[in-house]
Amino acid sequence: MLIIQGEHLKELGLQSIINIRASLNLGLSEVLKTAFPNTIPIIRPLVSKTEIPHHEWMAWFITGEGCFFIKVNKSRNKASVGVQLVFQVSQHIRDQELLKSFVSYFNCGQYINSLKKEWGYFQCTKFSDIYNIIIPFCSLHSIRGIKDKDFLDWVKAAEIINKGDHLTREGSSKIISI
43-54, pLDDT tens digit by residue?
Answer: 876 666 677 888
Q: Is 49 inside any structural domain?
A: no
- Give the chain's radius of gyration (CA, Å): 21
Hey, what amino acid is at 173?
A: S
Q: Are residues 84 and 148 in the same domain?
A: yes
Around Cβ 139, how many Cβ atoms within 10 Å? 12
The span from the CA of 130 to the CA of 85, in Å, is 8
* pLDDT score of 14: 81
pLDDT digits (tens, 9 = 90+) for 61-95: 999 999 999 998 876 666 577 889 999 999 888 88
Residue 90 contacts residue 120 (beta carbons within 8 Å): yes
Q: Residue 174: CB partners within 8 Å, gap ≥ 6? A: 160, 165
Q: CA nearest 87: which of 117, 108, 113, 118?
A: 108
Domain that holds residue 162: 55-177
Regarding whether 131 and 173 lie in a shared domain, the answer is: yes
Phi, psi of 134 (to 5 degrees): -65, -50
How much is the pTM? 0.75
Q: What is the per-residue pLDDT across 91-119, written as a single tens digit (0 to 9) for each?
A: 888 888 899 999 999 999 999 987 777 88
User: Count of domains in the chain?
Assistant: 2
Centre a 10 Å sphere on the Cβ of residue 143 and count the other Cβ atoms it contains: 21
Question: Is 50 inside any structural domain?
Answer: no
The residue count for the chain = 178
What values do phi and psi take at 139, rounded to 5? -75, -40
What's the angle, vertex CA 112, arms to CA 62 and CA 142, rounded to 5?
A: 10
* Same-domain status, 109 and 152: yes
Verify that 153 and 77 share a domain, yes or no.
yes
Residues 79, 139, single domain; the answer is: yes
Q: How far apart are CA 62 and CA 163, in angstroms?
A: 27
| pLDDT value, residue 167 | 82
Residues 98 and 91: beta-carbon distance below 8 Å: yes
| Shared-domain flag, residues 155 and 115 | yes
Nearest to 76 by CA among 150, 8, 178, 167: 167
